[in-house]
Each structure stands twice: as structure tokens, then as C-alpha cells.
Amino acid sequence: MDIFFLRHAILDSIASGVPENTIILLLLLPIIATVIAASRTIIGIRGFGIFLPAALSITFVAIGPLLGIILFIAIVVISTVVRIVTRKLKLKLQYLPRMALILWFVSLGILAIIFTTHINFSIFPVLVLTLLVEDFTKIQLGKSFKTALTLTSQTLILALVSYVFLTYAPFQKLVLLNPEIAMITTFVIDIMLGKYLGLRFMEYYRFRKLIRS
């Protein structure tokens, strides 16, 4: 069998009308996932799991990083303010209705942004961002505000790094031209990451006094 079968298959499907972008995104997605996994097991950046930063980075690709971040921050701020206000007003609401109310405000907020700026963006990225609200609120409830904030900012950093990988043209080209090498390399790195048991970079910092003692 031809070892370049992937490359041929890609050329064939592009020739038959499959959008190039779809194929690039599908090829880059495992790489993004590896990058996110590596930043957790080697560096120690946590973020909200692997799905959220990946989804967020694709959102950034779809609507641009600046608008993406603004929207994300707007959503986080709206949900936090609503939560604090309902608490201050002693509006004792049960959990799910309270979440529904937060989503109500978030929808209204996004509508307000659309009405004032007349920016045209598709619903998919906005939906992903909106669904982040529950995770954020959940973590805010379960942990301290500080933890929620660090996790959110780390998610943003991961998403931005992933965004760079997704949009950097030479990198896209490299992967598109060498899909076999890209896939096999990520596969091997994933296995190696899974076997890594040493300290993470951030743990070297956390335990620096122990190491020095």
C-alpha cells in the first residue's frame, strides 16, 4: 500500500469539492488536543478539560480572536453579575431556574451586542460560548471565585495557543502536505504524554522550597 495514502485521499476529496477548511480543521484537531494535553501534563495549565478550550479555539477561528474574547468575557461577566445580584437581593431561587435566568440575561446581552455593533456572526460559536456559562458557574459554585478565574483565564490561554496552531498558514501547509507524519507524530506524542509521570513545570515552582531543602 502507498504510504502516502492520506495525502492522495485528501487531494481526491478536495478535487471532488470537499471544502479545504473542513479537512484542515479535522487534521488539526488531534494536534490541538495533543497541545492541550501536553500543556496539562508537562506544564500544568488546567483549563476546563479538553473540549472547552478546543471548542473555544474553533470559535476564535470562526469569529476572530478579539471578538471571541470580548464575547467570552461579556458572557462570564454577565453570569457572574447575575449570580451576585440574585444573592444580594436574597432572591432565593432553585438551581435550575437560576441557571435558566442566567442564560436569559446572557442571551439578552449577546443580542444587545449584536444590535449595537451589527456584527454578523453565526450561531454555532455563540452557542458554544453560551454553554460555557454553566461550566463556569458550576466551578464558581464548587470552588472559590479565584479558582474559577484562574481556570477561565487558563482556558483562554489554551484556546489562544490552539488558535495560533489552527490559523498559522505555514503550519497548516505543513500538516496538509505531510498528513501521515503529522498524524503519526501526534499519536506517538499522545502515548508518551500518557506515560509521563514526572513533575509538571508548575509543580517544580510549587515545590521549589522542598526541592531546595
For position 51 contacting other proteins by CB under 8 A, the verdict is no
Pick one of 94, 120, 123, 191: the residue that binds other proteins (CB under 8 A). 94
DSSP line for 90-148: T----HHHHHHHHHHHHHHHHHHHHHHH-----HHHHHHHHHHHHHHHHHHHHS-HHHH
Stretch that binds other proteins, among 22-30, 61-69, 120-128, 136-144 (CB under 8 A): 136-144
Count of residues in contact with other proteins, rule CB under 8 A: 27
Contact with other proteins (CB under 8 A) among 142, 169, 170, 191: 142
Task: State how far the Cα of 138 lies from the Cα of 136, in Å rounded to an integer.
Answer: 5
Q: Is 200 in the site for other proteins (CB under 8 A)?
A: yes
Q: What is the DSSP string of 44-94?
A: ----STTHHHHHHHHHHHHH-HHHHHHHHHHHHHHHHHHHHHHHHTT----
Q: Which is nearer to other proteins, 73 or 211 (CB)?
A: 211
Positions in the binding site for other proteins (CB under 8 A) = 41, 44, 92, 94-96, 134, 138, 141-144, 147, 196-200, 203-204, 206-207, 209-213
